[in-house]
């Protein structure tokens, strides 16, 4: 199956739930906006997974390419966003 576009996703949701495509789009947009807002506190999508904000510590790295090749640099600490897939989703997709 080819990559699904947003329009195809909304059409599928609308057909399965019996609502209009516009209403399905409003629900998806509201879910996305809520996920953006609550990601700092861990946002869970039941049955799919969770968005988690985590901190990556400062680390040392040896440059492999370019004019700084062989030199050790310090990569600063930063916050990263991760998505952890739920066990139910893994089992359904991988068919364990």
Place of tokens 């790295």: 61
Residues sharing a CB contact under 8 Å with residue 45, sequence separation 6 or more, in sequence order: 31, 35, 51
How high is the mean pLDDT of the chain?
93
The 3-state DSSP class for residue 2 equals: coil
**pLDDT digit string, tens, across residues 75-92:** 999 999 999 999 999 999
Summarize pLDDT for 23-50 with one digit per residue, the tens: 999 999 999 999 999 989 999 999 999 9
> What gap in Å lies between CA 9 and CA 88, rounded to an integer?
21
Whether residue 96 is predicted with pLDDT greater than 90 in this model: the reply is no
Angle at 24 between CA 22 and CA 28, to 5 degrees: 115
Task: Say which residue the tokens 């966003």 belong to.
Answer: 81
Give the predicted TM-score (pTM) of the model.
0.75
Q: Would strands 72-75 and 43-45 be described as parallel, antiparallel, or unpaired?
A: unpaired
């Amino acid at each position: 199956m080819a990559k699904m576009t947003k329009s195809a996703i909304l059409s599928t949701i609308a057909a399965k739930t019996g609502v209009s495509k516009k209403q399905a789009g409003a629900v998806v947009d509201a879910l996305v906006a809520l996920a953006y807002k609550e990601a700092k506190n861990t946002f869970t999508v039941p049955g799919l997974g969770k968005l988690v904000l985590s901190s990556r510590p400062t680390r040392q790295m040896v440059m492999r390419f370019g004019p700084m090749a062989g030199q050790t640099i310090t990569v600063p600490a930063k916050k990263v966003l991760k998505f952890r897939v739920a066990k139910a989703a893994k089992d359904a997709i991988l068919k364990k």
